[in-house]
Amino acid sequence: MGSDNESQSGSEASPEDEIFGPKIKILVKNATSLKNVVKFGTIDPYAEVTFEGYTRKTKVQDDTKNPEWNEELEFPRANADMVKVQVKVFHEESLGKDKLLGYGTGTINGYTKSDWHDIEIKLIDSKQKPTEGVISLGVGGGGDKDQDGGEGGDEEMDGDEEEEEGTEGGGGGGSSGRKGKKKKKGKTGVSAAVEQARASIDFNTLSTKEEIFQIRFVVHKARKLKGNIESPIVRASVDGKNMRTQRRQGSDPKFNETVVCSLTKSEKTLLDLPVELTIIDSAKESPYNLIGQYNFDLSVAWAEKDKLLMYKWFAMTDPDEPEEGITGYLNVSIQVLPPGEMFKELPKRSETEIDVASNVFYPPGITLQPGQFTIKLYTGEDFPQMDSSALASVRNFFSSGEKPAELVDPYVEFKFAGSQIESTIQYGTFDPVWGQKLVVHGQFPSMCEKFVVRVKDHDDLGANDTIATKLLKISQIAYTSTESDLGFLPTFGPSYIPLYGSHREFCDINDKYSDLNKGDDEGIAYRGRILMELSSNMGEADPALKDKTEIPESESATVMSNLRRHKYHLFTAFDTGNMIRETDSQVEFEVSIGDYGNSLSLAGSVNPSTTQPCNAVYDGTHYYFMPWSSSKPAVIIHSEWEDIEFRAETYNIMLWMVDFMKEGLRKFRVLERARVSPDELETKCRELVESVISEMSSLDLPQPPENATKLDMYFYKVRQYQIGLVKRVVEEKPEFVGIDLENLGGETSLSDMEEDEEGDEEDPLLDASDTEDKIDPIPVQKDDMKKPDASQPLRFDSMLHELDCLINGELKEESYKLKIDHVESVLSKFKQLTFEPQISIPDVFVWVMSGTNRIAFTRIPIHKIIYSDNERARGPLCGKTSSHFLKKPLKEKIGAHLSLTIWFGKFEHVAKAFRTPSGSEVTVYAETYENQMSVMGNWTTKLLPRPKFSDITGKYEIPKDSFSPPAGWRFEEDWVVSVDKAIGYDNEDGLSVFTETVFEGQTRKPGGLWTASSTETWWTDEKGDDTSPKEELPCKEGWQWSKDWELDLKRAVDSQGYEYADEADLGSYGPVERNYHLARRRLWARVRERSGETKPKEDDKDPEGWEYSKLFTTKFHAKEKSFDMVRRRRWNRRLVSEVPVPIVFSVYKDIDDKDDEDAERFNIAPRMMIEFPPANVRKYQLRAYLYQARGLLGADPTGYSDPYARIVFGNRSGMTNALHQTCSPLWDTSIILDNIEICGDRNEIIGNPPNVVIEFFDEDLLSHDKLGRVVCKPRVMEIPFNQQTTTKLQWFAISGVKNAKGELLAAFELFEVGFCLTFTILRSYSAYISQSSNGNFFYYVHEF
């Protein structure tokens, strides 16, 4: 049978099928007396064979208890005399999980590959009881069991050269080279993949008739392209016909493009046509633009199912310089379409499914080398619940064990390029301790860019669930360098790895976000951490080295002692919350870091990190906002983590330098577009280079501390040398010495650092002198920066050296264009060093919640908010007010927008560095809710589903007298009722025109007539609450009627505007009258316009402060209604402290045990607010002038859009008209947003005003597609309006959605009412300003 037959059989090969190396063949002969586990008919058995971690399957034999398979399965194997084989036999189910018929293990001692050995294995069932079933196997070496001679025999090579075996070109479909023997070179130089494909095709059956075939190439992506790549493109050539993709950027571009060509050929001729895949850099001139190439013929696609080759990696090489080795990898799907057939849609595949060794086509002559990743897995923590208590009880019943207290059984799976290993299972623990050393074997070079770390939950009754996945990028834990003292192989830790995925809260039904646990998309919640260490080495593995061993306890203790934890302080102040869409229940916001602050977590405390639940208020146009006004919520979370400040500081300094260079280049490009004279551009270019040199040379990267990892030390040295902060003296060596990360042929040492680590265990990094014969040298790339017309390319010692050459060296006489290219080259090199994979503190999550439903979230990386004494090393958001868009999971749709002030740092930094928002003070309140229920029309505490006094969730009983101030705190005032601030707002707030509506209803007796008598006529509002007749409804203060009352006839009503129902209170109104209808109603509407300032409404408040609702889980309101069944009111009591000390209340679970020292208690966090005095609460008016946008996305089939803009600022929003069928709308519109409250010091507001958000949409009948977003700062006007100078229009780039593009031309002015603005304009106006006779300015108002 062999591997060729296996690839075409029904057996399912695992992703590890093609690991190159020595082979062993296992012949699955037959099985007898298998148990029949089906009620009707006979079983359909197949066998699953596992050998040294690799698994193969046979075909399914239908309707038999004595199957005859006679299938030969091939496995890679280590050089050992003992063979141990595990076999499982299953019955294939058409629906559901396949059933296990039995399993067993067979062992051969004294194995030799020249002999065949027979094994009979008696099977046992899943309960480890013997069965009658027996399976027969044969085990042999890499040769054919019927072959007389050894492998390959002594036959002559027909004059062809023999190659010493490493492992030679192959990949795909089960083809591989053979290690330890001579292999004949193919005369045509074709790869093993092509040889295998052609061997599987019967050319005698192919037609000679010419037909029209279509060839489709889907170019997915490229990876690890060598050199300084600028604009790569892919060219596919078939029989001389060339197709090409669009340009992309970088060395790991994603193309996702399809190119198609048609050929008129016969089938026989078609399969011989040459195919050439080429990657070139379009930014360079020929012949220096070739990156790599791969040649094959169409048989590789023809031999596949549906003639479709899917998601294959092609290892690219330079045919003119094959000694360079692999120059990159290209992922392509190819389909050959015969006449009359349709193209097949490609199924979606995850990255981990594609990145396996069996999925790579290597060209002839490529040698693969073995290597190993050594992982030390220490501990894990904070894993979420994964099993329900009911399922755990069932499992407990069958296993006769004790029920675990913690419903998760974690283990870790490590995978690279299809090779994998698993740790042991730790049962019933959220915080497992493994203490294991594991080895993952691989073959290199490898196209795989990510090392997969996947934490799973073991399940005895079903499939194992994934808890979370971390993908470690090889490029971020290793470094490729032509300098022998800088390169190193992959290394990591010991360090914690934060894990993210779906919600932490356990769900008994299917979790719709469970796919996030696979690591392919951004996680929406923290799901734990693992502590691990990774190192690598090349060459054959030591036969004595076991894949799984225990780590000595002393070593684990040393690692843990180096990760001593510190107390951290996280402060979050909420300034504004708007753009909220969900209003079904009261809205609150939750802040969490790790499992600290998760209000729905098993370990969460009462109200640990949420804002006060509050009804969101309509802003008058589209969104809802939080009515926080001058009393804004704040959250403080105390947590304990390792000290990673030096890593975060280094990362922030590097990011600051990247931003500095980007901004300098952006300003220069603006001058170029402005057509500034060449002389001035030369001057500006020199100034830019000098400023970059000045800032870069002054960078002070923190030196790693004593407990730093090897990766910290390695990258510290790499950054110092590559930037040029430290000059190094390099000994004379061959010109091109180093390692190639793609080929991983050897490794160099960082000798300077190793001298400081004497006494440590032997470093896996080898000295270059020890591996010269193994190292695959890196030549200088053809695309290195070089002086024009120079015979040799320039080599730069560092980035600073390259920049210095532009003003003081060989390149100082060159044009500014070339110099700017060099600056961009330096920026690209700098960005390649700007990352930090070992930040072990989890991200901060901010969620908007409605009841217990999580609506939208944002993730804030910890390095962005961490405090440092060094301003450049400090997080860019630390202590500053910043905008955050909360998006819905797995969607681009925005669920809320927040303006936050966040500060994160160690406790010792709080006193000297932590500051609350300017012009405010922090107040602390104890909080409890008083609850009542309506029983027979009376409000009582009887039959309450929650305690009389409780927290907001109703889970914990918290009477007012159960609070006692913690040490250092005291109560300042008595308990007071705190009313929801939303009660002071109306639906029409923010509108200048509002339509008042009221229903006029009538009732009749059965068989009676409709009458207008007062006893049979009723009036209600749209919510069903009783109201006055329309003639008696007053116009609200600050408004005036603009029209009379009119019937609304635009609804489904009769000619008089009536709609009919059986009963007035039952709803279900319809437009057709029936004899049995006893109620009818019609809607009256009247328009009113704003005429002046309105006062906050106070009359709607309940005099006792109660809030009413149908249920405790639904939205509360201020006025009691007929259907309300529950009510509550919030009690607050203020606390003060003489000294800043942490505050947590210890509350008795049973108040009667208050005097008992051993009474059970729980902790409760207080409510914190940021209070602004009236002097620091100001009202502003925003004037937004939107002139035009250009280059918007085309969302309609016509290629155009119907764009309109929506502007949001504070608690107000507005919108423009939609312009039809254009991508460059000219609105020429101004929008005024009035009565906007901004709290804080005036100077702070002038220096850092809140952001204006402008969103762009395509108006369609059924949906409004989002086209992009602009976030910008308004210009705060500091002098009286009639003295203002004209505000200039600016271009703002549009972003915010995938593939967003275009720009907005606009201006935004912010006026403080009463300071520089003494009047208000209520309608939209044009930008044309004129001057009246008395010297005052005014706007010409345009009606819409």
Q: Tens digit of pLDDT for each residue in 676-720?
A: 899 999 999 999 999 999 999 999 999 999 999 999 999 999 999
Q: What's the farthest any 2 CA atoms get from each other in the chain? A: 115
Strand segments (E) across 33-180: 45-51, 54-57, 68-76, 83-91, 99-108, 117-124, 130-140, 162-163
pLDDT at residue 792 tops 60: no
**What angle, rounded to 10 degrees, do the helices at 799-807 and 816-832 form?**
170
CA atoms within 13 A on the CB side of 611: 34
Spatial neighbors of 735 by CB under 8 A, at least 6 apart, are none
Distances (CA, A) of 1042 to 993, 1039, 1089: 9, 9, 6
pLDDT at residue 1015 tops 70: no
SS3 847: strand
Q: What is the mean pLDDT of the chain?
A: 80
Residue position matching structure tokens 């007035």: 1064
Query: In angstroms, rounded to a whole number, what is the distance separating the alpha carbons of residues 1037 and 1025?
Result: 22
Q: Residue 934: which H helix or E strand, with range? A: strand 921-935
pLDDT, position 1039? 85
Angle at 1122 between CA 1117 and CA 1123, to 5 degrees: 75
Instruction: Tell me which of 643 and 952 has the higher pLDDT.
Output: 643
Q: Please, where are the H alpha helices in 1197-1274?
A: 1242-1247
pLDDT at residue 862 tops 90: yes
pLDDT tens profile 91-129 = 988 777 788 899 888 877 666 666 778 888 999 887 778
pLDDT, position 1? 39
Q: Residue 325: which H helix or E strand, with range? A: none
For the segment 154-172, the average pLDDT, to the nearest whole number, is 38
- The amino acid present at 207, given as its one-letter code, is S
pLDDT at residue 1335 tops 60: no
**Nearest Cα residue to 316 out of 447, 207, 428, 404:** 447
Query: In angstroms, rounded to a whole number, what is the distance separating the alpha carbons of residues 936 and 930?
Result: 20
pLDDT, position 202? 84
Instruction: Tell me which of 842 and 1116 has the higher pLDDT.
Output: 842
Instruction: Tell me which of 694 and 1116 has the higher pLDDT.
Output: 694
* pLDDT-based confidence at residue 146 (cuts at 50, 70, 90): very low
Q: How large a percentage of the chain has pLDDT more than 70?
A: 79
pLDDT, position 676? 87
Query: Which of 123-137, 397-411, 588-602, 1058-1072 has the lowest average pLDDT?
Result: 397-411
Cis ω before 613 (30° cut-off from 0): no
pLDDT tens profile 9-18 = 333 444 333 3
pLDDT, position 1316? 61
Angle at 711 between CA 707 and CA 715, to 5 degrees: 115
Query: Which of 30-39, 85-94, 383-392, 1308-1317 has the lowest average pLDDT?
Result: 383-392
In 10 A of CB 1140, how many CB atoms? 11
For the segment 964-992, the average pLDDT, to the nearest whole number, is 78
* pLDDT-based confidence at residue 884 (cuts at 50, 70, 90): very high
Please give the torsion angle defined by the CA atoms of residues 1337, 1340, 1343 and 1344, in that order, rounded to the nearest 10 degrees. -90
Q: What φ, ψ does residue 1112 adopt, rounded to 5°?
A: -70, -20
For the segment 200-209, the average pLDDT, to the nearest whole number, is 85
pLDDT, position 7? 35
Query: In angstroms, rounded to a whole number, what is the distance separating the alpha carbons of residues 787 and 822?
Result: 11
- The amino acid present at 342, given as its one-letter code, is M
Query: In angstroms, rounded to a whole number, what is the distance separating the alpha carbons of residues 1145 and 965?
Result: 7
Contacts 24+ apart (CB under 8 A), 1241-1249: 1241/918, 1241/919, 1241/1176, 1242/1178, 1242/1312, 1244/918, 1244/919, 1245/1178, 1245/1276, 1246/1276, 1246/1278, 1248/880, 1248/881, 1248/1273, 1249/1273, 1249/1274, 1249/1276, 1249/1310
Q: How large a percentage of the chain has pLDDT more than 90?
A: 35
pLDDT, position 1155? 57
SS3 816: helix
pLDDT at residue 848 tops 90: yes
pLDDT, position 612? 86
Burial class (CB in 10 A: 0-12, 13-18, 19+), 429: middle
SS3 825: helix
Query: Which of 9-13, 78-82, 817-821, 1189-1193 has the lowest average pLDDT?
Result: 9-13
SS3 628: coil
